[in-house]
Chains A and B, each alone.
Chain A
Amino acid sequence: MKAKHSTSRRRWLKRTGALALSAPYIITARSQETLIVNTQGGEYQELVERVVIRPFEKKFGVKVIHDPTGTASQDYAKIRAARGAPGFDVAGLLTPPEVILGVKEGLLEKLTEREVPNLRHLWDKTWQVIPAGSGAPHTLQYAALVYHKEKLERPRSWADYWEPQKKYGEKVKGHLINYNPANLLSVYALIHAAQLGKGGVDNMEPAWQRLKAQKPYVGVVVTGSAEAVPHFENGQVWISPYWSARSGYYIDRGLPFEMVIPDEGVIGLFDVACIPVGSKNKKLAYEFLNWRLDPAVQREWALAYFSSPTRPGVELPAKFAANQIVSKEQIAKTQFPDSDVIGARRKDWTLKWQEIMG
């Protein structure tokens, strides 16, 4: 009996020892099946998990940990602070200024069609907006105008937002919202203001004149786009520039607003997924980026988020497509200002904005 016990104990020790020695390999193998994806919270979190992440997990039999914290610039700040190893494998929601900076600083993985075959199907214009192979642009939207349809007549021009008294009189006082240029939405709206006065990214003076004139009519000032939603809901804000995707999402859920594409046109925005150079699971990250650009996923995502696909040929219902950028002509008409210039001048613009609004 004793000998048997001894043998059994020795066998148990051997097995435990073998297990302990192989633990790092088991853990590593398991971690290779796990991908950490960063995007953002709020309604986006629920949508991206339902439409993109869970189907990806199912198809590839892997686990995705979704990190929904931070905005695009905050996420890039994390990548920079961690020298390319921020703890997530995919930066799922960067905008062109961060992508351009990431390429300059060498903190984002260079992609080719070998790793992400669907890159070859994107709109040609994509690579005029961000450096070729810097990321996978998965969502296309634009800065539109939204207005409270029970309080105001339909605006037609960006001037109706920047010079609201001309169209709406004094009743609109206190019911405008303005955004800090830390948010690209504000930058795009300011570029439209400059264009109204024959300016643009190289001459923003007309924008500052309009901002000064608009200030008495502004009742709410925020930084993040999501911060504006409670003010839309409680009826304080009647007119605002807003991202087309989020506008569609909230209007669909009963917000008494309508979205307008002003006569002067709109500025488009690509949401881009990138891989930080320190990503621990690049192979799976490539698969995730490719999945994001898959035509079926693109369609489902566009319908869920009220955005446009980033590749041509994705079939969408005609009524839905009416407010989206889906044709070659539409994408040619959409403005994409130089994000490199925006990145370089944003500090000065923010300073000027703060001086006027402070």
Chain B
Amino acid sequence: MARDHGLAPVPWLLVAAPMAVLLLFFALPNALLLSASFLKSEAQQLTNELTLENYSFLFTRPLYIRAFIRTFIVGISVGLIDVALGYPLAYFLVRTKSRWKGLLIALSLAPLLASVVVRTYGWYIILNRFGVANDLLLSLGFIDDRIAFMPSTGAIIVGLAHALLPYTVLTIMGSLQGINPNLELAAMSLGASRTRTFFSVVLPLSLPGIAGGFILAFSIAISAYATPAILGGPATQVMATAIYGFMTQLLDWSIGAALAVVLVFCAVLLTYAAARMGARQAAL
């Protein structure tokens, strides 16, 4: 009877521990962040005076509006690039009959073995004015003078797209593995070409994986610090680098907190919208 009422204590006990961890280490810090964002800061010190000045400061400065827009351009671009590059790779890895399949999967995920800082410095070596890319273009005669590929938003996108590709591949692979191969065979036995089978059967069924991969890449990209700091430099700010600057360099925690609240709020909103969109597409 107790089970019928949905009041069994065991499931509640099972979720209690993770919920407590979530409350303590996610909800509470975010609540503190939210409260600090409404406190006035004077000469780098937090006061007890409530204010909306921190938000008005951020939304009236073109610099931070640009950082905000740049962050979302980076997030969306990285998400799209990773889905575009990751989908064919994931499809191949799931469908291949090669005996090297295990090795191929391991190789495609190998970038995860190196720290993101190491991978980003790899791009730094390639993209800087005296880097490999410039040397190659000069030696091939494509350019006469060295090009500043970085610091730039483009360099941040390239670095993050590379760093986050394995996450997208993994997510899409999970979705593709869940599709019954008989559905494709059935479509083709009814006269559909391979292309039509892919676009009418496989792609729609793998949309939750695509949405998941995009959301994962997007949400990590908009909150990434190391890659934008290295490839964007101090003059190409995204929200994470701006937050870091306020918190640890300028020691102005109230504006840093306001910026962090804006980032969290927008990320949650956009992630929710993308998840809803993916779920709706999957339902269709």
Contact = CB atoms under 8 A, between A and B. Distances in A.
B159 to A, nearest CB: 17
Interface of B: 43-45, 61-63, 66, 129-130, 148, 151, 233-237, 245, 247-253, 255
Given A182-B245, A350-B245, A101 B63 contact: no
Interface stretch (A116-124, A194-202, A216-224, A318-326): A216-224
Nearest to A340: B43
Given A77-B248, A221-B234, 10 more contacts: A73-B251, A101-B45, A182-B245, A222-B234, A223-B234, A235-B130, A343-B43, A350-B245, A354-B235, A358-B236
Contacts of B251: 73, 76-77, 80, 98, 101
Nearest to B250: A347
A73 to B, nearest CB: 5
A180 interface: yes
Interface of A: 71, 73-74, 76-77, 80, 98, 101, 104-105, 174, 180, 182, 219, 221-223, 234-236, 340, 343-344, 346-347, 350-351, 354-355, 357-358
Q: Which of B61, B63, B237 has the most CB of A within 10 A?
A: B63
B63 A180 contact: no
Contacts of B45: 101, 104-105
Contact of A358 (B63, B148, B250, B253): B63
Nearest to B249: A182
Given A73-B248, A73-B251, A219-B129, A355 B151 contact: no
B59 to A, nearest CB: 14
B64 to A, nearest CB: 9
A47 B230 CA distance: 27
A358 B237 contact: yes
B242 to A, nearest CB: 9
A358 B65 CA distance: 12
Contact of A354 (B129, B151, B237, B247): B237
Contacts of A350: 245, 249-250
Contacts of B234: 180, 182, 221-223, 354, 357
A223 B251 CA distance: 15
Given A221-B235, A354-B237, A358-B235, A344 B129 contact: no
B223 to A, nearest CB: 19
A222 B236 CA distance: 11
A354 B242 CA distance: 11
Given A77-B247, A101-B45, A351-B63, A357 B235 contact: yes
A100 B129 CA distance: 40
